[in-house]
């Protein structure tokens, strides 16, 4: 898979809450990526016990990338000027994934002046992505990559949160209308019963996921229109489940492009 970019990943309230959780904790020094002689360490902060970091994984990351994960670890990198990393892989396993999220102050206008790029190797090329604040990037853990510190003139700490993940083997993706069900019904009565039970389990989880997202959308119509559709994309993904049934709450959401983003159209497709 190619590296996927998600700009304006958190809304304003979510971003503020994440920063508040980080400010409760302290950095330690000595982190490196490959432990090579050509590296110089940087700051790190363990977020494994941060409930809000896990909440972001469950309600934001998993829906938008359409996968479910087991978590290896979650931590924050703080690279100061002079820190030096090397190209490395997060894992050699095919099901390893990393979601990297930038929280430092860096805009599109700043990026080329500040540096601090995320570099990765793909098809014998070295490519880079600007470390824009509130940008998430998602990639295979087994590709070669590295992050570098900001240039000396900025005086900024490069801060990125890393979710190191493994795709769940028992439920690798969210079901969508375009996917084939992995619980196909056979003529055998036992198979019918097993399929029905499996669908009931999915239906219950779907309702919980949708309600979780609805209840945590604090600002559905923010001033910055860039947040509008992005805020509801996870919800839109969830409403395309093949096995979805009626929600416990009504959903009434309007987007700029009604035909493309209509939640009601999704349900109408299901009922036909």
- pLDDT for the residue 83: 85
What's the pLDDT tens digit per position in 259-270? 443 444 444 444
Of 152, 62, 151, 65, whose CA–CA distance to 111 is shortest? 151
Q: Quickly tell me which residue has 């793909």 as its tokens.
A: 122
Q: SS3 helix, strand, coil % of the chain, rounded to 5?
A: 35, 25, 45
Q: pLDDT-derived band of residue 3, with 50, 70 and 90 as boundaries?
A: very high
Quick one: CA dihedral 143, 144, 150, 156, positive or negative?
positive
- The answer to which of 12-26, 54-68, 205-219 has the lowest mean pLDDT is 205-219
What's the pLDDT tens digit per position in 97-108? 999 999 999 999
User: Do the beta carbons of residue 174 and residue 68 sit within 8 Å?
Assistant: yes
Average pLDDT, integer, range 114-119 = 94
Higher pLDDT, 46 or 82: 46
Q: pLDDT-derived band of residue 119, with 50, 70 and 90 as boundaries?
A: very high
- Residue 40 gets which letter from DSSP? B
What's the pLDDT tens digit per position in 129-167? 999 999 999 999 999 999 999 998 888 999 999 999 999
205 is written with which tokens? Answer: 């989880």
Average pLDDT, integer, range 16-42 = 83
- pLDDT for the residue 269: 40
- 100: β partners: 137, 162
266 is written with which tokens? Answer: 């999704």
- pLDDT for the residue 214: 55
Residue 72: pLDDT above 50?
yes
Percent of the chain predicted with pLDDT > 70: 60
Residue 190: C-alpha distances to residues 197, 202, 237, 243 (Å): 11, 19, 31, 20
Residue 34: pLDDT above 70?
no
Residue 79: pLDDT above 80?
yes
Average pLDDT, integer, range 157-186 = 64
Instruction: Please give the model's pTM, rounded to 2 decimal places.
Output: 0.63
Average pLDDT, integer, range 179-192 = 38
Q: Please report, for the chain, how many H helices and E strands are present, in that order.
A: 8, 10
Q: Which distant-in-sequence residues (6+ apart) come within 8 Å of 118 by Cβ?
A: 100, 128, 129, 131, 137, 145, 146, 147
Q: pLDDT-derived band of residue 186, with 50, 70 and 90 as boundaries?
A: very low
The average confidence (pLDDT) of the chain is: 75
What's the pLDDT tens digit per position in 204-261? 555 566 556 655 555 444 444 343 445 555 555 555 444 444 444 444 444 444 444 3
Cβ atoms within 10 Å of 265's Cβ, excluding its own: 13
Q: pLDDT-derived band of residue 96, with 50, 70 and 90 as boundaries?
A: very high
Residue 201: pLDDT above 60?
no
- 167: β partners: 69
Q: pLDDT-derived band of residue 32, with 50, 70 and 90 as boundaries?
A: confident
Residue 187: pLDDT above 70?
no
């Amino acid at each position: 898979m190619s590296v996927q970019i998600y700009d304006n990943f958190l809304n304003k309230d979510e971003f503020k809450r994440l920063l508040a959780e980080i400010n409760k904790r302290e950095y330690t020094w000595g982190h490196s990526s490959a432990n090579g002689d050509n590296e110089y360490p940087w700051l790190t902060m363990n977020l494994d016990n941060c409930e809000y970091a896990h909440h972001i994984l469950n309600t934001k990351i998993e829906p938008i990338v359409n996968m479910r994960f087991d978590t290896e670890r979650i931590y924050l990198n703080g690279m100061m000027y002079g820190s030096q990393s090397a190209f490395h892989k997060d894992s050699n396993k095919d099901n390893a994934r990393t979601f990297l999220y930038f929280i430092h102050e860096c805009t599109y206008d700043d990026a080329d002046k500040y540096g601090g790029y995320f570099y990765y190797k793909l098809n014998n090329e070295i490519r880079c992505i600007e470390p824009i604040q509130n940008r998430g990037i998602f990639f295979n853990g087994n590709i070669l990559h590295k992050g570098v510190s900001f240039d000396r003139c900025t005086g900024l700490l490069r801060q990125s949160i890393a979710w190191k993940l493994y795709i769940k083997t028992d439920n690798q993706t969210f079901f969508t209308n375009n996917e084939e069900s992995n619980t196909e019904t056979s003529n055998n009565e036992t198979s019918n019963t097993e399929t029905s039970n499996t669908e009931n389990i999915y239906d219950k989880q779907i309702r919980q996921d949708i309600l979780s997202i609805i209840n945590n959308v604090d600002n559905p119509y923010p001033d910055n229109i860039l947040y509008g559709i992005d805020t509801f994309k996870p919800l839109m993904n969830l409403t395309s489940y093949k096995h979805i049934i009626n929600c416990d709450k009504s959903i009434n959401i309007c987007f700029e492009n009604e035909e493309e983003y209509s939640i009601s159209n999704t349900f109408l497709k299901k009922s036909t």
